[in-house]
Structure 1
Amino acid sequence: MTANRQIVLDRLPGGERLAAEHFAVNVAERPSPGPGEVLLKARYISLDAANRAWMQGATYRSALTSGQVMAGGGLHEVVESNVDHLKPGDLVFADGGWQEYAVLPGSRLSKLPDLKPETHLLSVYGIAGLTAYFGLLECGQPKAGETVVISAAAGSVGSIVGQIAKIKGCRVVGIAGGEEKGRWLTETLGFDAAVDYKSPEFKRQLRAAVPDGVDVFFDNTGGDVFEACLFAMKNHGRIACCGAVSQYDGAAPPHGPRGVPGLIVTKRLTLRGFVVMDFADQNDKALADLQGWVQSGQLKVQEDVIDGLENLPEALIGLLAGENRGKRMVRV
């Protein structure tokens, strides 16, 4: 038997914080592809806050259940192919789960371009980069000279959003946890200011960083940070709602932002939720722009690579705690 190591969601966490004991390691037999199917071997598995959201119930995908292989996308190599458009050695992005091998219908898969380093196919040229690009430019619609604020700004999406906003001529303020991340945002990525949401002076820091208000808020966190930024919005401000990581792990908050409906009306705000698949027909243009910015040095790429399939649970737990800078992934 050729072994297929898997990480199984052994027990749903419910209202608890995610912990290593919610997962188990399983060894199964490597699957074989049938007609129209492809056998894939995982190279890198993506870690995203959405992994935790899927445990809470149905989202844009079915809810996860205990006992199944943990869901997740990643960069995979084709091992065997029963379709014409893919051959062994090709790389694809696939929802193969937390396991070494997976069989998927070839009709769902497309060969990825030959780009180096290949990890960029998961970060700036993958879901993170595309989410940042479309969320900011299509939903936020920033204009040169406007103020853009990003929550979880040191993460995989937020760090790219801020740099694109700078490229578009905006003033950029990042919200992140801790002074070290704040210095990285301003000194390395070129943000104009950084605000520490962990500081007891967070709201005062935010007011000082945006004295004239916020034109565009790119929200990855929800919760108290969302509420603080909502009340700092200018008239006709736009909010791109990308995620709510502050509410994914642990018990639900006792209440949401209060006074929101009236505030949205009086300030004539636009709030738009989105998922990256909404803009798939524009991927080619987005990738061309992203590649051009990376090659010119205008867009810096930060990746956080952890080795070992067995380390996936701790890697996700750490991401939810804000350990990472840039795109976190596990090299299988």
Structure 2
Amino acid sequence: MALPRRYIPSISLLAAFEAVCRTGSTAAAARELDLTQGAVSRLIQNLEGQLGVTLFKRERRRLRPTEPALAYARDVRKALELIARASLGLRANPGGGVLSLAILPTFGTRWLAPRLGAFLAAHPGITLNLGTRLRPFDFDSETFDAAIHFGIRMWPGAEHMPLFEERIIACCSAAFAAEHPMREPADLLDLPLLQLESRPNAWGAWFAHHGLEAPHTQGMLFDQFAPMMQAAAHGVGVALLPEFLADAEIREGRLIRTPGDIVAGVGTYYLVWPEGAEVTLPLAAFRDWIAAEAKASAGA
């Protein structure tokens, strides 16, 4: 059932309203929209008349949005951003679909990026837009179609497809190993152990696997794998890294493995997408492709 016309204001009315709420004045909104201040004021009045709601309090020739208006502005902003992204996607790729994907930074650069050429070659009509996110977000408030997630099945309001479980190895630079000889896992107990914010119990699990109790004193704390790998490569300490991330560093000699087993990580990599949402052709194609790539990577 179509909504009544009065509840679907024109883009010009909504753009003026959102700009005034965001910038704080009709003058600033006018400069942004390349309109006169009087034109912006008239657009606001027309929107209020169409909706039958007072959106601003008039105070000394200034407009102050009401609390309901600010909430409405947030929804309008999301809608305008969605329309803009859709328009850009259509212009960039008029013959195919667009998939907007949120990725974990290091996973995206070290595992996904080297494989994307094959996906795009197999699906020339699809445009893939990437953005980085470190933590789960609300799909209703973001314009992503899907995301790469690490951890457990905890993303609310999302469908989950497991890709592969994390496998962890301990690594350091050759110079660090020469300065701190290591023959068995217990030799790591007194060394600087680099930490990752999202894996606070990783070293505890690694030492427990080897029948040891993790030390209380630890090393530097990082929010992403990439700077932690660089720190380890420059001799700052020992890092616990996913095997697929460390492989290239080890092959190229920037890191070496320390004594110890490959240990199961604390979570799984997932592809997630909004629960109950229509699975578009670009998402279906990417989902099938990344499932096959993950299976091959886990087998290797």
Report the TM-score, using the length of structure 2 for normalisation: 0.28
Question: Which has more helix, going by share of residues?
Answer: 2
Please tell me whether Structure 1 or Structure 2 has the larger radius of gyration of its CA atoms: 2
Question: Which has more strand, going by share of residues?
Answer: 1
